[in-house]
Amino acid sequence: MTQYIADELMTVAAARALSNNDVCFVGIGAPSAACNLARLTHAPDITLIYESGTIGTAPEVLPLSIGDGELCDTAVTTVPVPEMFRYWLQGGRITVGFLGAAQLDRFGNINTTVVGDYHAPKVRLPGGGGAPEIASSCQQIFITMKQARRSFVRQIDFFTSFGHGRGGPHRQELGITTAGPTLLITDKAVWRPDPETKEFTVMSLHPGVTQADMADTVGWDIRYGADVEETPPPTTEELEVLRALKARTAAAHVKEVA
């Protein structure tokens, strides 16, 4: 079996969750790698949309930002940002939104605004951008991020993007009709929300990861599914495609800097 690192398995597991028919709102970083890996392997007809207004993009290299010219060059079309949000996103046309977080709680609520008190924060973060609208308007949300106690917290310091709120039917009580976070993929496990409580529950552990490893990186009492499986490792093809994509990206960005 080809050797791999935890980041590669996280990207592969996220890519596998996408289907050929998805219309996906892509974030920069790990979500972009996962979505493009899916496009280059089992989901060649997936529609990738970036916040800058590019629709049906098929980049040869991973973009540095949503404004990267690579996205426009390879898109089927590019529309104004207001049209992207009002017609495509709020119109319910996007099946999956990918998000990351600085802080995440057990109900999938996301903080990307401040760490600490809002008026006297320890850290001022980039903010929400389009994430709050993505979280409420995409048909479902996938979250990808590394596990650490400082980011997997019992209570987030600020609600930037609404997940399942207090849990249970809270999302529906507020009139939000989309499913919200349905999948959390980390460098250690695959999580899904409990159907009733909406608390994230571990469904599979990555090879070599123990429950002790999990407890060391999460700030709440972890729930495990009735039959926790082992996440299938990356295939040789998945690793080759992912590594080639990242190699092209690194080479392109070196040229840009030069």
* pLDDT one-digit tens code per residue, 5-33: 999 999 999 999 999 999 999 988 889 99
Per-residue model confidence as pLDDT tens digits over 77-120: 999 999 999 999 999 999 999 998 999 999 999 999 999 999 99
Respond yes or no: is residue 51 known to be catalytic: yes
Task: Read off the pLDDT of each residue in 131-154 and give the average, rounded to a whole number.
Answer: 96
CA distance 182 to 196: 13
The superfamily CATH assigns to domain 6-257 is Glutaconate Coenzyme A-transferase (3.40.1080.10)
Q: Given this model, what pLDDT does residue 2 score?
A: 78
Predicted confidence band at 1 (pLDDT cuts at 50, 70, 90)?
low
Write down the pLDDT at residue 29: 87
CA pair distance 57, 38, nearest whole angstrom: 13
pLDDT digits (tens, 9 = 90+) for 189-242: 999 999 999 999 999 999 999 999 999 999 999 999 999 999 999 999 999 999
For the stretch 170-179, pLDDT in tens is 999 999 999 9
- Helix, strand, or coil here: 53? coil
> pLDDT class for 255, splitting at 50, 70, 90?
low
User: According to the model, what pLDDT value does residue 76 have?
Assistant: 95
- Least confident range of 67-71, 92-96, 111-115, 122-126: 67-71
Q: Give percent of the chain above pLDDT 90.
A: 89
pTM (2 d.p.): 0.93
Q: Do the strands 96-99 and 103-104 form a parallel or antiparallel pair, or are they unpaired?
A: unpaired
SS3 per residue for 149-193: CCCECCCCCCCCECCCCCCCCHHHHCCCCCCCEEEEECCCEEEEE
Q: Is the pLDDT of residue 46 over 70?
A: yes
* 27-31, 53-57, 139-143, 246-250: least confident range: 27-31
Residue 68 has pLDDT above 70, yes or no: yes
CA-to-CA dists, residue 115 to 44, 75, 93, 165, angstroms:
39, 36, 33, 19
Ramachandran category for residue 248: left, alpha or beta (phi over 0 → left; psi -120 to 50 → alpha)? alpha
* Active-site annotation holder among 8, 51, 133, 238: 51
